Amino acid sequence: MSNSPHILVIDDEPQILRALRTILTEKGFRVTTAVRGEEGLTLAAANTPDVVILDLGLPDMDGIEVCSRLREWTPCPIIVLSVRDAEHDKVAALDRGADDYLTKPFGIEELLARVRVALRHSTRTQGAQSQLVKAGPLAIDLAWHTVTRDAEEVKLTATEFKLLAYLAANRGRVLTHRSILTQVWGPADADHTEYLRVYIRQLRMKLEADPQRPEYILTEPGVGYRFLADE
């Protein structure tokens, strides 16, 4: 079992720790738990986990701080847990290097899906990036700058493609408004969320079967967007 992925859970609620330990162990992960930020940092340094699940509301230190301290030395994926109204904290954690977030209360399928994405992503960054991203009827070729839907080419403008390519290259991961705007439009336009809204709408109209109920370009309320590709 020593080859199974190792997950470090940092949360101060014993009930949550108990539930997560039970479920994740059942799913074949090795699980270590910590109830304080300092303890979590020490455990992370000692055990080099494959994924860290981090609650943002810790008793001894700010979860965002834990996030930045982890990022100083490890690229290991961090999934933060937070509550509905703390969008600001989630965005801050993501901008400081967290990879994903979950809003409490969450379903376990959601958590497992995020853990899988995180693990896949960390192995992918070590290996070669795949050039072709597939999502349902969509195929995006990042190298040749082409997008097809049911094998028919979809015409995109330069900015639309740049946006889609950034989302697709980070498939499965949540990307904050700021990071997308900086990447696609440049740092000077990092606050122009309205550009993003307009272009996401255009992309959905061109790519989604029902733009009102998108299946691939998903909105993360108050945080950003996520591209859902085939596993």
Partner 1 sequence: MRFPSPAYFLRFLLSVGLLILTTAAFLALRGVIDTPLIALLYLLPVGLSTALWGLAPGITCAFCAFLTFNYLFIQPLYTMTVHRPSDLVMLLVFLLVAVVISQLVGRAQMGLAAAREREREATKLYELSTALAGLQDDQSIAAIMAEQIYATFRGEGVEIGLIGDQPVMRKFPEGSSGSSSPPDLSLPIQAARGLMGTIRLWRPALPASPQERRLLQTFASQGALALERARLAQAESRAKVLEESDNLKSAILSSVSHELRTPLSTIKAAATSLRSGEVSWDSSARGELLAAIDDEADHLNLLVGNLLDMSRLESGALKPKRQWNLLSEIIGSVLERMRRQTEAHRLEVEVSEDLPLVPVDYVQMEQVFTNLLSNSLKYAAKGTIIHIHARTTDPVTLLVQVTNQGPHVPDKHLESIFDKFYRVTAAERVSGIGLGLSICKGIVEAHGGKIWAENQPGGFAFDFTLPLTWDGAPPPHPPLETDVA
Which of 26, 109, 150, 194 is in the footprint of partner 1 by CB under 8 A?
194
Q: Does 22 bind partner 1 (CB under 8 A)?
A: no
Q: Does 213 bind partner 1 (CB under 8 A)?
A: yes
Q: Is 118 in a helix, a strand, or coil?
A: helix
Q: Provide, rounded to whole angstroms, the least separation between the CB of residue 167 and partner 1.
A: 15
- Which residues lie across from 9 on neighbouring strands? 33, 53
Which of 29, 101, 199, 216 is in the footprint of partner 1 by CB under 8 A?
199
Q: Is 99 in a helix, a strand, or coil?
A: coil
In angstroms, the Cα distances linking 23 to 20, 31, 182, 203 are: 5, 10, 38, 38
Q: Provide, rounded to whole angstroms, the least separation between the CB of residue 82 and partner 1.
A: 12
Q: Does 198 bind partner 1 (CB under 8 A)?
A: yes
Q: Provide, rounded to whole angstroms, the least separation between the CB of residue 184 and partner 1.
A: 10
Residue 151 or 158: the one with the smaller Cβ distance to partner 1 is 158
Q: Provide, rounded to whole angstroms, the least separation between the CB of residue 210 and partner 1.
A: 9
Q: Does 219 bind partner 1 (CB under 8 A)?
A: yes
Contacts of the segment 29-32: beta carbons below 8 A, 24+ positions apart: 29/4, 29/5, 29/115, 30/1, 30/2, 30/4, 30/5, 30/6, 31/6, 31/7, 32/6, 32/7, 32/8
Q: Does 151 bind partner 1 (CB under 8 A)?
A: no
Q: Does 212 bind partner 1 (CB under 8 A)?
A: yes
Q: Does 193 bind partner 1 (CB under 8 A)?
A: yes
Q: Provide, rounded to whole angstroms, the least separation between the CB of residue 17 and partner 1.
A: 19
Contact 218, 172 (CB under 8 A): no
Q: Provide, rounded to whole angstroms, the least separation between the CB of residue 162 and partner 1.
A: 8
138: Cβ contacts below 8 Å, ≥ 6 apart: 147, 148, 149, 207, 216
The Cα 118–Cα 110 span in angstroms is 12
The Cα 135–Cα 124 span in angstroms is 18
The Cα 188–Cα 166 span in angstroms is 18
Which of 201, 209, 230, 231 is in the footprint of partner 1 by CB under 8 A?
201
Q: Does 197 bind partner 1 (CB under 8 A)?
A: yes
Q: Which residues bind partner 1 (CB under 8 A)?
A: 84-85, 87-88, 105, 107, 145, 155-162, 177, 185, 192-195, 197-201, 205, 211-214, 219, 221-222
